[in-house]
Structure 1
């Protein structure tokens, strides 16, 4: 079910994050927030996992299933750091193995099983006693949970160092965080894995090049229209504009060739 914001967590209920909002758990309740996107996604599995790790510690059982890129890896590490149990679908069993494989490479995983075995495993784990004590949440985890919820007072210098790169969404400085997983966060909370940031930059570069090609074609077309009107009144200027139009179209074709080659453009 899609929960209402502030709903008390009830035993035996499955909550599904509504579209375009983060779902987090705070003080035994489900909270919905339009906080900053993580890897360009909202809802985000890492945002949910961090909040669960902070709120419930060793009582959390978390699973990363089939999916692309590295989402879920950072959240699993947070859960493990607080004594929770981490499960990953066997990448060989996953339709999209990127997320499970990333978790196995960069997080501490307690169980790696096929999809069909995850539900029975969770039922079995839920019946086991919870450790009396869990490791206390780190200051960094507390700060990231606050940042996920839009707290702009978080001092990112405690999490990482300013990088040379800017956030693709708000264009602010990105801080580089190295905590076992190279990733980035901006001052307002947008977050990226290194792979996610590269993907966004590649997409932005492609969009920029298409925009440049479009601008060149429009400029060439304008010069051609003006040329037709000047052929009798000012043939010298018309000839110059015709030559410029030809060169401009060549430049647009060159960009199009780069974009349509079967090779990465970056």
Structure 2
């Protein structure tokens, strides 16, 4: 397939596209339906593990008419191209160029969708568009709110069209989505939105947004920012580093070294901690049962043997109770994503 070349442009239009679970299929559908002369650059973030091979750009390059490449730090952004986040690095923008950053994770992810959308809001204002596709939890919802606050446009994949509707549905429920459409129609919406005349919005930039963008761009273990400027102590601790979390707003938190959490993601992290603790308890109780029975057999009948047998029965009962609790957790949808 002959790919469209990037067109010359005046003022750049940029769209950020974020996805998580079920996102590869959604991204392929979006890429396949993009116009060959789209007056916009697309920056793509998919939640993938840091050590995963970076093949998404090749998948999207084959899927549609526009070229897709893995983002390279410092590369100038041009219309008519998809720039795909590299595993383990935030995909950001500054002065018309790609920035790949090793800043703190957000909701346990790097790259994070919120980080990309926030950077687009700051750099492009009304010329930024945010697109949120299939996924779980709520990464990207606050980023869409940031884009809207700067006059940009926001799109969500129709929840009924998404393999995992929680992420786009969360954005719709939060009231931060301008348009929603199936993945195959998002290209048409992008062409429509980026073909319109855009006037610079006279909106003040939230200093907290600027600080959070600075944190995302920071080098690992940077100490040249103060998260206490973002808000008061929350009384919670960070699941990543166990430091104190600052309440940025009612649904957003950051620790002193910069890890960011939404309320939904923080709750999920607490559930994961509880499950891990329960599994450790089950394992310990099973070992206690075996050891108690072995000691009972060693000492034989008598008071001490009865004591060991009683301990074994108590441990067995506790194991059963915890096992039922774990089963209920998974039946309620608390299993691995």
TM bucket, shorter chain: 0.7 to 0.9
**Is 1:259 paired with 2:326?**
yes
Residue 206 of structure 2: aligned partner: 138
Contact 1:22 1:47 in 2 (8 A): yes
Report if aligned partners of 1:6, 1:31 keep a CA contact under 8 Å in 2: yes
- Equivalenced residue count is 261
Q: Give runs of aligned pairs for residues 193-212 of structure 1, distance below 5 A.
A: 193-212=262-281
271, 292, 300: which is aligned to 1:231?
300
Query: Is the 2:289–2:311 Cα contact (8 Å) retained in structure 1?
Result: yes
Query: How far apart in 1 are the matches of 2:154 and 2:85?
Result: 20
Residue 318 (structure 2) pairs with residue 247 (structure 1)? no
1:164, distance to aligned residue in structure 2 (A): 2.1
* Post-superposition CA distance 1:4-48 (Å, at most 9, x none): 222222332211112222111122221222322222222211010
Post-superposition CA distance 1:184-229 (Å, at most 9, x none): 2212222222122112211211110111111111122223223333
Asked if structure 1 preserves the Cα contact closer than 8 Å seen for 2:70 and 2:86, the reply is yes
What residue in structure 1 maps to residue 235 of structure 2?
Answer: 164
Give the equivalent residue in structure 1 for 2:54.
Answer: none
Matched residues in 1 for 2:248 and 2:200: separation? 32
1:65-111: CA deviation from partner (whole Å, max 9, x where unpaired)? 22222221110111111222222223333332222222223243332
1:79-94 aligned at under 5 Å gives the runs 79-94=147-162
Cα–Cα, structure 1 residues 263 and 116, in superposed 2: closer, same or farther, change >3 Å? closer
For residues 172 and 62 of structure 1, the distance between their equivalents in structure 2, rounded to whole angstroms, comes to: 31
| Unmatched tracts of structure 2, length 5 or more | 1-68
Pick one of 103, 114, 122 that aligns with 2:182. 114
Equivalent position SS for 2:70? coil
- Distance across 2 between alignment mates of 1:41 and 1:134: 33
Change (3 A) 1:152 1:53: farther
Residue number in structure 1 paired with 2:99 = 31
The whole-number CA distance in structure 2 between the counterparts of 1:106 and 1:92 is 17
1:156 CA displacement: 2.8
Look up the SS of the partner of 2:154 in the other structure.
Answer: strand
User: Partner of 2:256 in structure 1?
Assistant: 187
Structure 1, 206-215 or 128-137: larger mean CA deviation: 128-137
CA contact (8 A) 2:141 2:176 kept: no
Secondary structure of 2:323's partner? Answer: helix
Q: CA RMSD in A?
A: 2.3
Inter-partner Cα distance in structure 2 for 1:68 and 1:15:
23
Query: Which one is further off, 19-28 or 126-135?
Result: 126-135
Q: Give the match's secondary structure for 1:7.
A: coil
- Contact 2:227 2:256 survives alignment (8 Å): yes
Which residue matches 2:81? 13
Superimposed CA distance per residue, residues 109-161 of structure 1 (whole angstroms, 9 cap, x where no aligned partner)? 33233323211121232222331455242211111111223454433333222
Q: How do 1:67-106 and structure 2 match up within 5 A?
A: 67-106=135-174
Q: 1:132 to 1:183 in 2, by over 3 A?
A: closer
Q: Which has the higher contact order (CA 8 A, sep 6+)?
A: 2
Normalising to structure 2: TM-score of the pair? 0.70
- The question of 1:58 aligning with 2:58 is answered no
Return 149-158 or 213-222, whichever deviates more: 149-158
Q: 1:73·1:107 contact (CA, 8 Å) conserved in 2?
A: no
Which deviates the most, 157-166 or 75-84?
157-166
Q: Is the 8 A contact 1:162 1:173 kept in 2?
A: yes
TM-score by length of 1: 0.87
